[in-house]
Each structure stands twice: as C-alpha cells, then as structure tokens.
C-alpha cells in the first residue's frame, strides 16, 4: 500500500505536483463556495485534530486528508521514553494551531509496513504529508521552539505552494462529526496521458515519458505538470548510462569545458545537490561568452523547471544568474 506520491523516480515528485494542483483547486472551490454562501466549510472539533492511524486507514486519513490540510505524522511506540515526551507537545500544538495541521499518530509496533515505507531507523520520528508528498521534519527529541519553527515553515509552504489553508475548527462541534469526504476532482482531459508518463518514468522508460509529455504539451502548451514532467524526463534521459566518476573527473580537470560542466550539473541535480548544480552553471556563465554562455544559460533555465519556480533555491539562483549576466 505504498503511497503513489512517495515513489520518487527522480529529483521531483510528479505525483505530488498533480496532487498540489488538485489541492489548490479544492481550496479555491471551498473559498468560492464559502464566499457565495456567506459562510465557511463545516467545522471539526478540536478533538478531531489528533487521530490514530494504521495501515488500513492510512490512505483515507493521511493521503486523502493531505489534499485539504497538512498532515503531521508522529511515529511512536509504547516503550519509547522520548516519544512520551514529544507526543504530548505535538498534541497540544495541534490544538493550538487551530486546524492549520492535522496530527496523525502511528504506533510503529503495530504498523511495521508504514515504518519501512518511510525508511524510519529510529523513533520518535516526525514526518509531514502535504498534497500526497512525504516530507521528513525531524527525528529524535526536539525542543518546543524547534518544533514550532518547523511547523510554522510547514504551514507556510502548504499554503503558499499547495493552497492548503487548513481546517475550520469549532469548539462546540461534536467530535467525530467533521466534514464529509470532499468530492473527487473530476478527471482532466490529459490525466490518462500524464499517468502513463509517470508510469514510464517509474519503469525507466524515459523516452516514452518524454513523448507522453510532449503529446500533452502539443495540445496544452501551458500544462504545468507536463512542463515539469518533460523537464525531469529529459534530465533523466540525459544522465542515463553516464559514469558519475568519469563525469566528475572531467568537470574537475576541464573547468573551461562547457559541455563537461553542463553534464556534471545534470548529474549534480539528479543526485539531489541542487545548489551545486546551480552554482556550477552560474560560475560557468561568468567565465563564458557568446554561444557557450547561451548554452549554459539555457541548461540552467531547464534545471530551474525541474526543481520548480516556487523553490527558494531557484529564486536565489535566478538572482545570481542575473548578476552573472549583467
């Protein structure tokens, strides 16, 4: 029962992009409906902000709920003493944050499969799931100030990037009588092609994924998931079969070789070294002119597409690129 959006075929989780779009649509629909009716969505009780989750309820209570509110997961066990210190703090903060996140508690002894799927080596461990995308928050004991800072950042990202504004809480609401499941967002005209492209990526058929995304973009040039997916698929296609050690050796020995730096930047990004990839290409822009500079600049813009315009590392790199160019 592995969450679809937790399957990472590369540096960007494409399933989460689609979930984010759906989450934004749901949030916008809810706000529009509330404005039209002069009210808000049905409220939940403060008691419903902390829930127990197991493998059977994970998809409904975590994955599906994460398209309307960030879900913080507390992995714990009865024998874990640090858990007994952390859990009450998280439960108190869940109520204090007043619906801006939902706390899901998972007993690792009773849910070994979930523990393995999240790659947890020790507890307490705290994750978040936002629009279907799993994000590690912290592991081990943490002070309340650190927890608050982490939660504040989570809430901000959830609202700004995914359009999730949280739940409406009513102290007088009956526990367990929260809002009913929201209707599924209707399937879009390109959902089948986009799903096929994601499956191709997961199976390593990068050429097939590239073609599937191009098919979508031929009809809908502005489709954000297809644009992002195409950038990722082309990146993975470029690095397929490369010898990482040779690539890094060439880049180190030939700093003036534009192509060597471009290939190394691709490899950096696939390996998760985003700042290294951006920095390498910006440095190369500063050292080059003419067609070489244009080639480096264009590759850097492609890598920006892969990471996503909302990522703060992209914003910082865009400023650095502007300084390098002008």
d(CA 59, CA 66): 10
**Is the Cα dihedral 314, 164, 134, 191 positive or negative?**
negative
- Using CA atoms in the order 197, 199, 200, 204, what is the torsion angle rounded to 10 degrees? 140
Instruction: Tell me how far CA of residue 179 lies from CA of 65, 163, 229, in angstroms.
Output: 11, 19, 34
83 catalytic, yes or no?
A: yes
| Cα–chain center distance at 197 | 18
Closest CA to 266 of 229, 225, 228, 307: 307
Strand bridging mode 102-107 / 50-52:
parallel
Helix (H) or strand (E) holding 133, with range, is strand 133-139
The three-point CA angle 52-130-238 to 5° equals 135
Q: Which of 47, 80, 217, 239 is catalytic?
A: 80
| Cα–chain center distance at 202 | 17
Residue with tokens 């800072």: 149
Residue/partner pairs of 207-215 with CB below 8 Å, 24 or more apart:
207/237, 209/233, 210/234, 210/237
218 catalytic, yes or no?
A: no
List alpha helices for 220-311, DSSP H.
224-239, 244-253, 258-270, 274-287, 290-307
Q: Which of 83, 114, 269, 314 is catalytic?
A: 83
Question: DSSP state, 1?
Answer: -
Residue with tokens 């529009």: 32
Pair 151, 95: CB distance under 8 Å: no
Give the residue numbers marked as catalytic.
Answer: 80, 83
């Amino acid at each position: 029962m592995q969450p679809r959006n937790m399957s990472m075929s590369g540096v960007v989780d494409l399933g989460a992009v689609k979930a984010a779009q759906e989450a934004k649509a749901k949030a916008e629909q809810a706000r529009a409906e509330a404005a039209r009716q002069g009210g808000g969505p049905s409220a939940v009780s403060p008691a419903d902000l902390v829930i127990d989750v197991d493998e059977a309820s994970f998809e409904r209570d975590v994955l599906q709920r994460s398209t309307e509110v960030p879900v913080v997961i507390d992995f714990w066990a009865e024998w874990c003493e640090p858990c007994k210190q952390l859990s009450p703090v998280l439960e108190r903060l869940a109520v204090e944050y007043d619906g801006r996140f939902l706390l899901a508690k998972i007993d690792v002894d009773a849910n070994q499969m979930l523990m393995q799927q999240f790659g947890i080596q020790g507890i307490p461990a705290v994750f978040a799931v936002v629009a279907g995308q799993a994000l590690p928050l912290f592991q081990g004991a943490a002070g309340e100030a650190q927890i608050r800072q982490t939660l504040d950042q989570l809430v901000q990202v959830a609202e700004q990037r995914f359009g999730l504004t949280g739940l409406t809480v009513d102290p007088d609401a009956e526990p367990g009588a929260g809002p009913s499941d929201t209707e599924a967002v209707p399937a879009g005209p390109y959902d089948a092609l986009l799903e096929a492209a994601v499956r191709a990526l997961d199976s390593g058929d990068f050429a097939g994924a590239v073609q599937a995304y191009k098919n979508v973009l031929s009809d809908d040039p502005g489709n954000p998931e297809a644009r992002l997916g195409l950038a990722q698929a082309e990146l993975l296609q470029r690095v397929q079969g490369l010898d990482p050690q040779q690539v890094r050796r060439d880049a180190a020995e030939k700093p003036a070789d534009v192509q060597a730096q471009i290939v190394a930047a691709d490899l950096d990004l696939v390996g998760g070294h985003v700042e290294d990839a951006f920095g390498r290409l910006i440095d190369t822009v500063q050292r080059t002119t003419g067609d070489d500079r244009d080639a480096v600049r264009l590759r850097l813009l492609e890598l920006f597409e892969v990471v996503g315009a909302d990522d703060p590392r992209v914003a910082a790199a865009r400023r650095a690129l502007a300084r390098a160019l002008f």
